[in-house]
Amino acid sequence: MNILLTTMVSEGGLSAMFDVGQSSFIWTIAIFLISLPFMWKVVFGPIAKALEDREEATRQAAQVAEAAREETETLRTEIEADLAEARREARDRVREAESRAEAKEKEILAKARDEAERERQRSREEIESAKASALEELRATAVELGVGIAEKAISREFRSEDQQRLVSELQRDLSKN
C-alpha cells in the first residue's frame, strides 16, 4: 500500500486518483438510480423486513412478558388472599379449640366441685347421723345409769310414780343438751 501511495504522489499526486470526468460521474449516477429499485428489493427490502420482523417479535415478547407479569401479579394476589384466609381459619380454629378447652375445664371443675360438695354433704350427714346415734345411745346409757343409781340409792324411799317422773325429767334435760 505504501508503494502505491508513493507511486501516485510521484506521478501527479492524489488529485489524479480522484479526478473523475463528467461522463463517468453521470454514468455512475445513472447506474446507481437504475439499480436502486433492484437494490431496494434485494438488499434493503429484506433488511427492512428483518428489522420489522425483529421489531414485531420484540413487541410480541414485550406483550407476552407484560401478560406474564399481570398473570403473576394476579396469582400472587390470589395466593396472598388464600394465605390470609388460611391464617384467619387457623386463628379461628385455635380460638375455638381454646374456647372448648376452657369450657371443658370449667365443666370438669364444676363436676369436681359438685362431687366434693356431695361428698362433704354425705360426710356431714354420716357424722350427724353418727353423732345423733351416739348422743341417743349416751342419753339412753345415762338414763339407765341414772335410773339404776337412783333406784339403788332411794329404791325404798320413792314410789314408782315418783321414779317415772324423775326419769322423764332427766330425759328432757338430757335431750335439751
In tens digits, the chain (177 residues) has pLDDT values of 545 445 555 555 545 545 556 888 898 899 989 988 888 888 888 888 889 999 999 999 999 999 999 999 999 999 999 999 999 999 999 999 999 999 999 999 999 999 999 999 999 999 999 888 888 888 888 777 777 666 666 665 666 777 788 778 778 877 776
Q: pLDDT tens digits, residue range 105-132?
A: 999 999 999 999 999 999 999 999 988 8
Residue with cell 455512475: 28
Q: pLDDT tens digits, residue range 137-148?
A: 888 887 777 776
Cα 172 to chain center, whole Å?
Answer: 76
How far apart (Å, rounded) are the C-alpha atoms in residues 83 and 81? 5
How far apart (Å, rounded) are the C-alpha atoms in residues 83 and 93? 15
pTM over 0.85, yes/no: no
Residue 135's CB is within 10 A of a number of other CB atoms, namely 14
CB within 8 Å of 163: residues ≥ 6 apart: 147, 150, 151
